[in-house]
């Protein structure tokens, strides 16, 4: 882990963000693209081809790409896209009862948090002829990535807030195993969260099926969920035709710690952040050179004990590090400027930093506010803005599944009071039809 001194050097090195460009594709992926499409296409061109085919051919294209790109066997690709209720019932017998209990605990806490969030979210109102009507989205599609590595927690973190918001129909698209089966963990989590239907549709074809509709897969109003570069580009391309939750990059963890922080706990949080992905960011910002050195030693000692040691070490080597600055105030300023997904505050005076209005997807206030608990059972959704977008974007929550419709209900008195000014502006803009529509309703019906 590198240690750099000063804010200027930190901005030039560890805290310098690279644009989220299309990466160089691995050789195996490029070979698959050549085999399937008969040409050397970049990721964007692959996405365009698949979107076009699913829009034109529907279910047949989804099945074909499940087989050609995701390695589903011919027999597996012939299974119905819709996972049956019997498969979901069977899934419970394939998951340890203790893990089912853990998923129920997580779902309960996520539900409780988002019910409280709903109580503080936008509400319908009408006052003096003006107001708004807040309604849930009609149908939402969730994309849940992973097959060998699965993420039931991410399913809960999206589906439960959607159901709390009042979305009547929540559906899931997900990759499947070569035999066409869906991970039992995903199916159990979907059932616990109140998901209506689960479909065998991975990758871009799954995103396209949700956006356009394909056979039994319904067209949705909004697509939520993370994925690889192909899924990310597909969501970006489809925005406007369908709503999306955001464009997500690799995970980010920043720890702000003072001299009193426990280096073992700081290192543990950085390792948890680094093991997400080789492209993940895990950075300490502190006013204590001694703490930085102690954390560096703890990371070196502990990283190889992780199940995902190779991933964590690659992340720390490429994007990890520590920044030593003059004060905790300066550390907080740097962290807020970086606007990370996760910001952990290992400081004595946490309340003072919380008053600074720091930009982050989630603030973990104090050493016992473990980011890893936030990933699973704290309550707030762990689907959060990355890439600096926490400076203007919010974590996924009930607000993502609500829409506001403005309401105007004027009586004659109000129309006569505010109409003349509106008509004057309309005529100044050259919209005489607008002006006449107003004037036909007010006193004298001027022409």
Among 275, 278, 341, 439, the one annotated catalytic: 341
Kindly state the helix (H) or strand (E) to which residue 302 belongs, with its residue range: helix 289-302
Assign 95 to helix, strand or coil.
Answer: coil
C-alpha–C-alpha distance, residues 318 and 12, integer Å: 15
Strand partners, 2: 321
C-alpha pair distances (Å), 316 with each of 84, 96, 229, 252: 43, 33, 21, 12
C-alpha–C-alpha distance, residues 144 and 195, integer Å: 12
Instruction: Match 């069977």 to its residue by tokens.
Output: 90
C-alpha–C-alpha distance, residues 210 and 221, integer Å: 9
Phi and psi, residue 221, nearest 5°: -85, -30
Please, how many CA atoms are within 13 Å of residue 204, restricted to the half-sphere of its CB?
26
C-alpha–C-alpha distance, residues 297 and 305, integer Å: 14
Among 342, 346, 371, 382, the one annotated catalytic: 342
C-alpha–C-alpha distance, residues 221 and 95, integer Å: 32
**Rg of the chain, C-alpha, whole Å:** 25
- In the annotation, is 416 catalytic? no
Q: Which residues contact 356 (CB under 8 A, 6 or more apart)?
A: 332, 333, 336
Please, how many CA atoms are within 13 Å of residue 272, restricted to the half-sphere of its CB?
19
Contact predicate 201/62, CB 8 Å: yes
Assign 110 to helix, strand or coil.
Answer: helix
Provide the terminal-to-terminal Cα distance of the chain, rounded to the nearest Å: 76
- In the annotation, is 341 catalytic? yes
C-alpha–C-alpha distance, residues 395 and 385, integer Å: 6
Strand partners, 344: 255, 364
C-alpha pair distances (Å), 103 with each of 77, 98, 358: 29, 9, 31
Q: Is the dihedral of CA 75, 80, 85, 88 positive or negative?
A: positive
Catalytic residues: 341-342
């Amino acid at each position: 882990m590198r240690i750099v001194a000063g804010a200027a050097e930190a901005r030039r090195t560890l805290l310098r963000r690279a644009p989220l460009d299309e990466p160089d594709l691995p050789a195996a992926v490029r070979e698959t693209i050549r085999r399937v499409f008969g040409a050397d296409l970049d990721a964007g061109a692959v996405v365009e081809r698949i979107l076009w085919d699913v829009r034109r051919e529907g279910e047949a294209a989804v099945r074909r790409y499940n087989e050609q790109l995701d390695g589903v066997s011919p027999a597996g690709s012939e299974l119905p896209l819709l996972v049956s209720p019997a498969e979901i019932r069977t899934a419970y017998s394939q998951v340890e009862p203790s893990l089912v209990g853990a998923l129920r605990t997580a779902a309960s806490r996520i539900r409780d948090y988002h019910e409280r969030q709903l109580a503080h979210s936008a509400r319908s109102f009408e006052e003096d002829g003006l107001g708004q009507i807040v309604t849930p989205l009609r149908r939402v599609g969730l994309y849940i990535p992973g097959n060998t590595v699965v993420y039931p927690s991410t399913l809960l973190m999206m589906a439960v807030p959607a159901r709390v918001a009042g979305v009547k129909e929540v559906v899931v698209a997900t990759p499947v195993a070569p035999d066409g089966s869906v991970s039992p963990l995903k199916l159990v989590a979907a059932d616990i969260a109140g998901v209506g239907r689960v479909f065998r549709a991975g990758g871009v074809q799954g995103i396209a099926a949700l956006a356009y509709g394909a056979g039994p897969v319904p067209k949705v109003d909004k697509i939520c969920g993370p994925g690889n570069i192909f899924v990310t580009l597909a969501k970006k391309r489809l925005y406007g035709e369908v709503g999306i939750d955001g464009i997500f990059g690799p995970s980010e963890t920043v720890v702000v710690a003072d001299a009193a922080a426990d280096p073992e706990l700081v290192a543990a949080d950085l390792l948890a952040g680094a093991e997400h992905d080789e492209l993940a960011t895990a950075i300490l910002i502190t006013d204590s050179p001694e703490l930085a050195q102690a954390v560096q030693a703890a990371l070196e000692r502990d990283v190889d004990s992780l199940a995902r040691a190779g991933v964590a070490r690659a992340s720390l080597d490429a994007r990890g590090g520590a920044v030593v600055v003059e004060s905790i105030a300066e550390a907080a300023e740097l962290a807020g400027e970086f606007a990370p997904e996760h910001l952990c505050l290992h400081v004595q005076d946490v309340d003072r930093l919380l008053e600074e209005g720091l930009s982050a997807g989630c603030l973990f206030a104090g050493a016992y506010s473990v980011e890893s608990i936030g990933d699973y059972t704290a309550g707030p959704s762990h689907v959060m803005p990355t890439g600096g977008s926490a400076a203007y974007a919010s974590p996924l929550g009930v607000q993502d599944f609500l829409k506001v419709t403005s309401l105007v209900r004027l009586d004659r008195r109000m129309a006569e009071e505010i109409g003349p000014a509106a008509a004057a502006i309309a005529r100044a803009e050259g919209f005489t039809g607008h002006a006449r529509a107003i004037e036909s309703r007010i006193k004298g019906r001027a022409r």
